[in-house]
Structure 1
Amino acid sequence: MTRDERRVVSPWNIANVLTVLRLALVPFFVVCLFLPGTGWRYAALGVFGLASLTDHLDGELARRYHLITDFGKIADPIADKALTGAALVSLSILDELPWWVTVVILGRELGITLLRFIVIRHGVIPASYGGKVKTVLQIAAIVLYLLPPVPDVIRWVVMGAALVVTVVTGVDYVIRAIRLRRVARRARAE
């Protein structure tokens, strides 16, 4: 073991603080989104943008400064799902995004999160490049829906791409989970 691997990292580090901040911003985002007026819509966009920025920043800081903790491994995906889930559900409640899109995306997100917890005893399924692309596309699509003057065709193209990548990466995670489980079974049998 290297010295860094033996070092105990406090859960009270900047990466985890940013994750908690993202969670705390979710209700403010939702309130701003439901208040009438263009100014509040831009406020919602600003809060969403800030929260999305913390998603990138907390991961970068955790990796760069070796601040990865068990709390962060659990809280970060929960904060991500809370932010995007709140945005999608809110946009559907406002009749700006069809419910079926929200159901497909949230069904995949919740299903894969549950799958990761089920197979964690066999090992960790790391985030894939496709998962990162999915996140960027979802955030971009939500931002386009939050911006009042964006033509619907642009919103639909980006949301459609996000939807396709979300489903494809979901299938990929299921395949990876099955392989991980098989490898773990073989290892135990040997």
Structure 2
Amino acid sequence: MDLAHSQRPVVVVSDRVFTLPNILSMLRLVGVPLFLWLILSGHDGWALTVLALSGISDYLDGKIARRFGLISRVGQLLDPLADRLYILSTLLGLAWREIIPWWLVVVLLAREVFGTVLLLIVRRQGVIGLPVHFVGKAATFNLLYAFPLLLLGEGSSAFAAVARPVGWAFAWWGVALYWVAGIMYAVQVRDLLRSLRQARA
């Protein structure tokens, strides 16, 4: 037996749907089309407000789920889905407004395709999804900080001159961590498949 795996705390994952963390995740999903419309129509202040509220709710739903034992299968699907949709809508909005280059969109979308392929592989084995780990969340937080700063950096003020390089620093860290997280997920999938083969043998 792998000692490192045996020492991990047991996390109970329920099938409940209407928990407070799940409701927060659902509200975040509802905000995605609103956010996309705001950023495409140039209502940057309101777009940033929606994005900030999304970030707060993202922190709260995870904190509440872990603190009160409300981790659920639905939440494990909704939370990363909401993160991905906000990142995707922000990418498309900023690229459409020529604030970021389209190649950056391609790099991040390629990572999403890679993650989707991994998810399809584990679902074929009867596993709903993979646990969200720290590196993936760190990548998401970096990107969600980067995009508002890049949006604010479009101005001509002294604040904009500071926000632009800081935003790009967060963006580069986010891209790098996003791909590191993808590789870590690939290792998880490899270990899972190996365990399943051993169990069947």
Asked if these proteins are the same fold (TM beyond 0.5), I'd say yes
Q: Do the aligned residues in 2 keep the contact of 1:45 with 1:147 (CA within 8 Å)?
A: no
Q: Which moved more, 1:40-49 or 1:99-108?
A: 99-108
Deviation, 1:69, is 2.4
Structure 2 residue aligned with 1:102:
105
Q: Higher relative contact order by CA 8 Å / sep ≥ 6: 1 or 2?
A: 1
Unaligned runs of 5+ in 2: 1-10
The TM-score, its normalising length taken from structure 2, stands at: 0.80
Q: Distance in 2 between matches of 1:125 and 1:131?
A: 11
User: Residue type of the partner of 1:75?
Assistant: L
Q: 1:29 to 1:82 in 2, by over 3 A?
A: same
Whole-angstrom CA distance in 1 between matches of 2:86 and 2:17: 21
Considering only aligned residues, what root-mean-square deviation do their CA atoms show, in Å? 2.2
Number of aligned positions between the proteins:
182
1:64-101 CA-partner distances (Å, limit 9, x unpaired): 22222222222222111111111111111111111111
The aligned residue for residue 172 of structure 2 is: 160
- Unaligned 5+ segments in structure 1 are none
Q: Which residue of 140, 143, 147 corresponds with 2:148? A: 143
Identity value in percent: 32
Distance 1:106 1:57 in 2: 27
TM-score (norm 1): 0.85
Runs of 4+ in 1 over 4 A off after TM superposition: none
- 2: CA distance between counterparts of 1:187 and 1:51? 41
* Inter-CA distance 67–87: structure 2 relative to 1 (3 Å threshold): same
Quote the Cα distance in structure 2 between the aligned partners of 1:94 and 1:158: 20
**Conserved 8 A contact 2:31-2:50:** yes
Q: Deviations over 1:140-179 (max 9, x none)?
A: 1112122244333332222111111112221222122112
Aligned with 2:190 (options 172, 178, 183): 178
Alpha carbons of structure 1 residues 57 and 74: separation in structure 2 relative to 1, 3 Å: same
